[in-house]
Structure 1
Amino acid sequence: MESKVFEYIDITDPIHLATNTERAEEDYILVKAKSCEKVPIKNWDPPAYCYTRRFQNYEKELFNFEVKKDDVWVSSFPKSGTTWCQEMVWLICHGLDFSAAKSEPLSTRFPFLEVSLIHDTKGEINSFERARDMPSPRFIKTHLAVSMLPKQYWDVLPKTVHIHRNVKSVALSYFHHSKRIFYRGTKEEFIRSFMKDLQFYSPIHAHVIGYHSLKNCRNILFLKYEDMKSNLRGCVETVCRFFDRSYSDEELDLLCQHLSFDSMKQNLACNYEDKNNDAWESKSRDERFIRRGEIDSWKDELSLEIVEELNQWTNDTVKNLDQMHLFL
């Protein structure tokens, strides 16, 4: 039966068709929202985004997900500093309760709303049910683009923090993340597929521009990964103001220390490593979920050829020069 809400589009790229099995991408599909009339963006025709065929099994759960006024959302394109931002937001909104944060995984405190669209989840309930059943106020992570958010989002307008990052850094980090989980191709193959908008949640440019077209929505706070790296204290203070929270200088110092890269890398509540297996500490840097945490690591990990291709791709895709800074 044809969906009334989403259009499903098979991928026709010849390289994808020839290699998707060996790269573990055989169930990829493009999904486009048929109507975005509630989204406050004028003259807008959002693109299709890349998911798996599991999307069809959960489209009703996504579209009809109940959004609550006291929800707190963190949204981003994958590998843009999401985990870092989540931990910051959760602690600011929970009175800097570091003991509680360390005693329960971030994935439980701040569940990933739509991960069931991408892969199966552990246990008997899907990711939408898990988020639905969280006690209020719920803290919800999403990588959904603006056009794919639940319909109630636009009626309720929960407080949301969106974080974005240099597109070259995202491309590199996304490759390492995907390779860690399932991807079987090379770095160059992944990034060229990413530039064809054929990795999960792509296209990245439309995702970021979509959110930044909502600057007049007072429920959304915009952060940038690079700003958090260069001025974490300033970003923390901005988030405190957004949530109307106030802490002493000493308390904010402790929070910044907790959010430092070295601390996050070793924090088993955030680093997605198996706490019951000490072998995680012997993993190579590239095998870890929290890998380098640097701003410009792409400069020594990507070839000049790939960097030039990424730059040209962004130049060709982003037509409004005022939006170019979002990807640099």
Structure 2
Amino acid sequence: MASFVTPDDMPGIRNMEVREDDVILTTYPKSGIPFSSQDRFEQSSQLLENPAWIRGVGKSYEHVATMPSPRLYKTHLPIKFLPKQIWEKKPKIVYLARNPKDCLVSNYNIFKSDIHPLEWNEAFDFFISDEINYGSIWDHQYGFWKHRNDDNFLYVDFADMKKGGSLSSAITEVTRLSSLKEMKAIYARLEDELGDKGKLLTHAAGILPLLYQGTVGGWKNIFTVAQNETFQKHQEMIIKDFDEEFRKKLNTG
């Protein structure tokens, strides 16, 4: 887990009350959770596993307990660490998956804000190691993928969201509001209205902006040929026992 997650947080999250009308947004870090309005962003800006610093005290999962229904909240936790009541209460769970290579590049930009910033080659090695925060992206995605056909689960691919295409008018509007342009506008308003606290919401450690290009396939601009081969071999090793549809989806990304 990330350094701000303590051993005491996990039972607190696992045992928290879930409501049937909850909407839980889930992703691996830096996969791109969209927000359609400033209110929604600020309401759910804290991960369940984060300290609730925007509210001053406590933990975010404790703050979520005080929110009126319907609640919208988010987490980067693997599915096995989500509140146990999701299987009983069956809230809506939306999982946003992203090409692991693009996710690595986006994480690299965040690694730059660390006290000891990682160079690209170091970030590459760290991402495919056993030490990466929240564990393997492949295990993380597959845990939710296996439930994609459950009535209360929606598994969304970042690349498909970017394409848009022949979607319903409602989804088209969500896609528009989730665009990098719209999200940057929301971030700018947060910084104007909340000052330094707003910048802590929109920048990693208050320094580097959380929003970058938001593109698909940007990894091609930074991966070397050798790194791509290493990454592919590592990916194949991890997903070799996953179902064929998931493996095919990853290998065409």
For normalisation by structure 2, the TM-score amounts to 0.83
Once residues 72 and 144 of structure 1 are traced to their aligned partners in structure 2, the CA distance between those partners, rounded to angstroms, is: 15
Q: Quick one: which of 64, 71, 74 aligns to 2:22?
A: 71
- What's the CA shift for 1:300? 0.7
Alignment match, 1:324:
247
- What's the CA shift for 1:59? 2.5
1:257/1:75 Cα in 2 relative to 1: closer, same or farther (>3 Å)?
closer
How do 1:254-293 residues align onto structure 2 when only pairs under 5 Å count? 255-268=174-187, 276=195, 287-293=208-214
Q: Secondary structure at the match of 2:18?
A: coil
Does the CA contact (< 8 Å) of 1:165 and 1:326 recur in 2? Answer: no
Q: Which amino acid aligns with 2:42?
A: S
Question: 4+ runs of 1 displaced by more than 4 Å?
Answer: 251-256, 272-275
Does the CA contact (< 8 Å) of 2:46 and 2:74 recur in 1? Answer: yes
Once residues 177 and 233 of structure 1 are traced to their aligned partners in structure 2, the CA distance between those partners, rounded to angstroms, is: 34
- What's the CA shift for 1:166? 0.5
Once residues 172 and 153 of structure 2 are traced to their aligned partners in structure 1, the CA distance between those partners, rounded to angstroms, is: 25
Give 1 or 2 for the bigger CA radius of gyration: 1
Does the CA contact (< 8 Å) of 1:111 and 1:130 recur in 2? Answer: no
Once residues 326 and 183 of structure 1 are traced to their aligned partners in structure 2, the CA distance between those partners, rounded to angstroms, is: 35
How do 1:213-252 residues align onto structure 2 when only pairs under 5 Å count? 213-231=146-164, 234=167, 237=168, 249=169
How do 1:168-247 residues align onto structure 2 when only pairs under 5 Å count? 168-180=101-113, 182=115, 184-231=117-164, 234=167, 237=168
- What's the CA shift for 1:80? 1.1
Alignment match, 2:59:
126
- What's the CA shift for 1:105? 6.2
Alignment match, 1:30:
none
Residues 88-146 of structure 1: per-residue CA shift (max 9 Å, x gap): xxx5xxxxxxxxx23x3613245421124xxx735112111111111111101011111
Two-structure CA RMSD over aligned residues (Å): 2.8
1:232/1:135 Cα in 2 relative to 1: closer, same or farther (>3 Å)?
farther
Alignment match, 1:20:
none
User: How many residue pairs are counted as aligned between the two chains?
Assistant: 239
- What's the CA shift for 1:297? 0.9
Residues 131-181 of structure 1: per-residue CA shift (max 9 Å, x gap): 111111110101111111111111111011111010100011011123235
Q: Which amino acid aligns with 1:62?
A: I
Long gaps (5+) in structure 2: none
Once residues 6 and 25 of structure 2 are traced to their aligned partners in structure 1, the CA distance between those partners, rounded to angstroms, is: 21
Alignment match, 2:31:
80
- What's the CA shift for 1:198? 1.5
Once residues 128 and 106 of structure 2 are traced to their aligned partners in structure 1, the CA distance between those partners, rounded to angstroms, is: 14
For normalisation by structure 1, the TM-score amounts to 0.65
Alignment match, 2:47:
112
Once residues 185 and 312 of structure 1 are traced to their aligned partners in structure 2, the CA distance between those partners, rounded to angstroms, is: 23
Residues 28-85 of structure 1: per-residue CA shift (max 9 Å, x gap): xxxxxxxxxxxxxxxxxxxxxx443742132221121111111011111111122x2x
1:162/1:183 Cα in 2 relative to 1: closer, same or farther (>3 Å)?
farther
Once residues 109 and 53 of structure 1 are traced to their aligned partners in structure 2, the CA distance between those partners, rounded to angstroms, is: 18
1:158/1:299 Cα in 2 relative to 1: closer, same or farther (>3 Å)?
same
Q: Secondary structure at the match of 1:180?
A: coil
Long gaps (5+) in structure 1: 1-49, 92-100, 238-248
Q: Quick one: which of 233, 236, 246 aligns to 1:315?
A: 236
Once residues 307 and 252 of structure 1 are traced to their aligned partners in structure 2, the CA distance between those partners, rounded to angstroms, is: 34
Once residues 117 and 171 of structure 2 are traced to their aligned partners in structure 1, the CA distance between those partners, rounded to angstroms, is: 42
Q: Secondary structure at the match of 1:163?
A: strand
Once residues 313 and 166 of structure 1 are traced to their aligned partners in structure 2, the CA distance between those partners, rounded to angstroms, is: 14
Residues 242-293 of structure 1: per-residue CA shift (max 9 Å, x gap): xxxxxxx5x77665443332222232278x757537xx8xx9xx94211001
Q: Secondary structure at the match of 2:48?
A: coil
Q: Quick one: which of 291, 296, 302 aligns to 2:223?
A: 302
1:186/1:115 Cα in 2 relative to 1: closer, same or farther (>3 Å)?
same
Identity of matched residues, %: 26
Does the CA contact (< 8 Å) of 2:21 and 2:70 recur in 1? Answer: yes
- What's the CA shift for 1:306? 2.0
Q: Which amino acid aligns with 1:295?
A: V
